Amino acid sequence: MTQRTLIKNLAASNDGPVTVSGWVDTVRDQKKVQFVVLRDESGAVQLVHPRAEETDPIADTISALGHGSFLTVSGILKHDERVKLGGIEVLIESIEVVSEALESPIAEDTGIDKRMDWRFLDLRVPRNNLIFRIQTTLEHAWRTYWVEHDFVEIHTPKLMASASESKAELFEVKYFDTKAYLAQSPQFFKQMAQPAGFGRVFEIGPAFRADPSFTSRHATEFMSVDSELSWIDSHEDVMGLHEELMVAGLTAVKEKHGAEIEEAFGVVVTVPTTPFPRIPLAEAKRIVAERGYEVPRHDDDMDPEGERQIAAYVKEQFGHEFVFLTDYASSIRPFYHMRHEADATLTRSYDLIFNGVEISTGAQREHRIDVLEAQARDKGLDPEELAFYLDFFRYGVPPHGGFGMGLSRVLMLLLGLPNLREATYLFRGPTRLLP
């Protein structure tokens, strides 16, 4: 393993010998002294080399450096408050060009499609790199919450014999002498964990939707954050879990990255108060209409502009970035969502809206086999085609519920990014399979 000091640790180090490695960010090749800004995965530092009057191989090497070339440099670390870049610099004693770089095909003003073509270079930009350090902190905080609350992590298969959500938006693949489908969600399998006696489960894993949308918030492959738990009384218990999880995640992000986020993205991370506002969908539509917007849909759902409008209302009235829209119509919800006893046209379900965009759907699941079969038929589904799933409910299953949430959407909205592609390590959409 190469012995080097991370640049972020130089400020706390004593003056003296040091070795650093990283990419050339800028070179100032002056007559008497040369400056190189070197950047590694943790930060940037200024390297200094006073030119010698006679033969100077270090100066020759620096003069030939190209942006993005990878170096290993040994020298003397010096603290000097006059240095604008962190108050430290390294006086070069030796320099090794480990890997030369061609001229970069992208620049600061390059469009996003070309930047996605050269994603490995795009991710060198500190702002873009930071997104995935924030993602790491967020996922770690969620996992810590789950583990501390006795949840079991599961890893569900992504090759399925039948659809997990609907037969639309389904990727079909050849599977030996038959066919299989890429999982749209881990829905069936996380529910299977309830009669298996796991009690509480979670998974962060890929999901696939054959959705030809080119919007700023859709992808054909995405990371789904899922949780399911037994012994609930209603979807209210699922919302309680969900909001606690979001508070845990955002608290960790604010503590570790709050200052960096404000500097890089101009966003002040807000840790939300609980409980989050809850508004039944019918009431939310009435509020939106009173604000001058009529949802132009023929079904009972909310549309993106309606979500933005209700989010604006919640921000004005409650000072909150989150809102649960509850009690969605059974006509637009899956057959496995439990319906209200008093009104079977409504489900015990919700969508969680964050900064004007839906990030998650959750619900209490229907666990009574006779009701579940009836609701499947009501949706035009053949219970025999769902036999493996319905068997989960024939051998004793507790009341349960859960949610699925898009990881990249959360990051996009948290950081105020213009689209999902910025918040996804390698984006997949209708026209993108590379890199």
- Please give the pLDDT value at position 53: 85
Q: How many C-beta atoms lie closer than 10 Å to residue 95's C-beta?
A: 19
**Is 409 labelled a binding residue?**
yes
Residues 6 or more apart from 414 whose CB is under 8 A from it?
134, 250, 253, 267, 269, 354, 355
Percent of the chain at pLDDT exceeding 90? 94
Q: In the numeric block, which tokens belong to residue 324?
A: 């649960």
**Is 209 labelled a binding residue?**
yes
pLDDT at 164 over 80: no
Q: Residue 280: left if φ>0, alpha if ψ -120 to 50, beta else—which one?
A: beta
Backbone CA torsion sign across 200, 204, 206, 208: positive
Q: How many C-beta atoms lie closer than 10 Å to residue 43's C-beta?
A: 17
Mean pLDDT of 43-54: 95
Report the alpha-carbon distance of residue 244 to residue 256 in Å, rounded: 19
**Is 221 labelled a binding residue?**
no
pLDDT tens column, 410-433: 999 999 999 999 999 999 999 999
- Please give the pLDDT value at position 169: 86
Percent of the chain at pLDDT exceeding 70? 99
**Is 165 labelled a binding residue?**
yes
**Is 408 labelled a binding residue?**
yes
- Please give the pLDDT value at position 54: 85
Mean pLDDT of 341-366: 98
pLDDT tens column, 86-140: 999 999 999 999 999 999 999 999 999 999 999 999 999 999 999 999 999 999 9
pLDDT at 165 over 70: no
Instruction: Give the model's confidence band at 373: pLDDT under 50 very low, under 70 low, under 90 confident, else very high.
Output: very high
Q: In the numeric block, which tokens belong to residue 189?
A: 């399998």
pLDDT at 220 over 90: yes
Q: How much is the mean pLDDT over the chain?
A: 96
**Is 361 labelled a binding residue?**
yes
**Is 358 labelled a binding residue?**
yes
Report the alpha-carbon distance of residue 191 to residue 388 in Å, rounded: 12
- Please give the pLDDT value at position 378: 94
pLDDT tens column, 9-18: 999 999 999 9
pLDDT tens column, 253-310: 999 999 999 999 999 999 999 999 999 999 999 999 999 999 998 899 999 999 999 9
pLDDT at 166 over 70: no
* pTM of this prediction exceeds 0.85: yes
Q: What angle do CA 181, 186, 190 make, to 5 degrees?
A: 140
